[in-house]
Amino acid sequence: MVRSSDVRKTPTPGEWSQSLAPSGIGDRLHAFAAEIFPICRSITGNGVRETLSHIERIIPLERTEVATGTPVLDWAVPKEWTIRDAWIKNAAGERVVDFRACSLHVLNYSTPIRTRMSLQELKKNIFTLPEEPDLIPYRTSYYQERWGFCMTHNALQTLPEGEYEVCVDADLAPGSLSYAEHVHVGERDEEVLLQAHICHPSLANDNCSGIALLAHLAAAMHGLGTKYTYRFLFAPGTIGAITWLSRNYETSRRIKHGIVMSCVGDAGGPTYKRTWRGNSMIDRVMAHVLTHETLTANIVDFFPYGYDERQYNSPGFRLDVGLFQRSQFATFPEYHTSADNLDFIKPAHLEASMRMAAQAIEVLECDARYASTAPQGEPQLGRRGLYSAIGGDKDGYAKNMAMLWVMNMADGRHSLLDIAERAKLPFATVAGMAEALKESGLLVPA
Ligand code: ZN
54-94 pLDDT, tens digit each = 999 999 999 999 999 999 999 999 999 999 999 999 999 99
Tell me, rounded to whole angstroms, the distance of Cα 92 from its chain centroid. Answer: 45
pLDDT tens-place string over residues 93-127: 999 999 999 999 999 999 999 999 999 999 999 99
Mark whether 243 and 383 lie in a shared domain: no
Q: Kindly state whether residues 291 and 347 are assigned to the same domain.
A: yes
The predicted pLDDT at position 385 comes to 81
Residue-level pLDDT at 403: 94
pLDDT of residue 383: 87
CATH code of 315's domain: 3.40.630.10
CA nearest to 155, candidates 237, 85, 96, 91: 96
CA 368 to chain centre: 26
Distance in Å, CA 401 to ligand 1 centroid:
44
What rounded mean pLDDT belongs to the chain? 95
Q: Is the pLDDT of residue 230 over 80?
A: yes
Final residue before a domain boundary, out of 130, 155, 173: 173
Report the Cα–Cα distance between both ends of the chain, in Å, rounded: 35
25 and 141 both lie in a single domain: no
With residue 211 as reference, give the H or E element that holds it: helix 210-221
Average pLDDT of the residues in 34-48: 98
Query: How far is the centre of ligand 1, averaged over its atoms, from the C-alpha of 294 (Å)?
Result: 25
**Residue 79 CA to ligand 1 centre (angstroms):** 20
Distance 264 CA to ligand 1 centre (A): 12
Q: Rg of the Cα trace of the chain? A: 25
* CA of 207 relative to ligand 1 center, distance in Å: 7
Do 340 and 310 have their domain in common? Answer: yes
Instruction: Report whether pLDDT(3) > 70.
Output: no
Distances in whole angstroms, Cα of residue 254 to Cα of each of 67, 190, 213: 26, 5, 24
Instruction: State percent of the chain over pLDDT 70.
Output: 97
Convert the pLDDT of each residue in 247-299 to its tens digit.
999 999 999 999 999 999 999 999 999 999 999 999 999 999 999 999 999 99
pLDDT number for residue 397:
86
For residues 252 and 272, membership in a common domain is answered with yes
Same-domain status, 185 and 145: no
Q: What is the pLDDT of residue 88?
A: 98
How many angstroms does the Cα of residue 150 sit away from the middle of ligand 1? Answer: 16
User: Which residues are near ligand 1, the ion (C-beta closer than 5 Å)?
Assistant: 206
Q: Are 142 and 129 in contact (CB under 8 A)?
A: no
Across the range 415-440, mean pLDDT stands at 96
Instruction: Examine the domain organization and report whether 226 and 122 are in the same domain.
Output: no
Q: How far is the CA of 40 from the centre of ligand 1 (A)?
A: 14
pLDDT, tens only, 184-219: 999 999 999 999 999 999 999 999 999 999 999 999
353 and 213 assigned to the same domain: yes
DSSP codes of every residue in 348-397: HHHHHHHHHHHHHHHHHHH--EEEES--SS---TGGGTTTGGGTT-TTHH
Q: Are 21 and 355 in contact (CB under 8 A)?
A: yes
Domain end position, chosen among 173, 200, 227: 173
Model confidence, pTM: 0.96
Positions of E strands within 210-367: 229-235, 255-261, 271-273, 298-300, 321-325
Q: Which CATH number belongs to the domain containing residue 417 in this structure?
A: 1.10.10.10
Q: How far apart are CA 263 and CA 180, in angstroms?
A: 20
> Cis ω on the peptide bond leading into residue 279 (within 30° of 0)?
no
pLDDT tens for residues 386-408? 875 555 677 788 889 999 999 99
The mean pLDDT value for 421-444 works out to 96
**How confident is the model at residue 392, as a pLDDT?**
66
Shared-domain flag, residues 201 and 308: yes
Q: Same structural domain for residues 278 and 341?
A: yes
Collapsing DSSP to helix, strand or coil, 117 comes out as: strand
- What dihedral angle (degrees, nearest 10) is formed by the CA atoms of 263, 31, 285, 8? 150
**Are the beta carbons of 206 and 262 closer than 8 angstroms?**
yes
CATH number at residue 148: 3.50.30.90
Q: Which bin fits 260, alpha (ψ -120 to 50), beta or left (φ > 0)?
A: beta
What average pLDDT score do residues 7-32 get?
92
Domain that holds residue 202: 3-77+177-365
Q: What is the pLDDT of residue 108?
A: 98
Rounded distance from Cα 245 to ligand 1 centre (Å): 20
CA distances from 84 to 54, 103, 280, 358, 401 (A): 20, 11, 45, 39, 62
For residues 133 and 26, membership in a common domain is answered with: no
Does residue 259 sit in helix, strand or coil? strand
DSSP line for 180-203: EEEEE--SSS-EEEEEEE---SS-
Distance from the CA of 226 to the center of ligand 1, in angstroms? 32
User: At which of 145, 173, 201 does a domain end?
Assistant: 173
Whether 55 and 123 map to the same domain: the answer is no
pLDDT band for position 379 (cuts 50, 70, 90): very high
Mean pLDDT value across residues 228-238: 98
Q: How far is the CA of 106 from the centre of ligand 1 (A)?
A: 16
- DSSP at 103: G
Tell me what pLDDT residue 336 has. 98
Q: How many CB atoms are located within 10 Å of the residue 180 CB?
A: 25
Alpha helices per DSSP H over 280-346: 281-293, 309-312
> Per the structure, how many domains does the chain have?
3
Looking at residues 215-237, what average pLDDT do you find? 97
Centroid of ligand 1 to alpha carbon of 54 (angstroms): 21
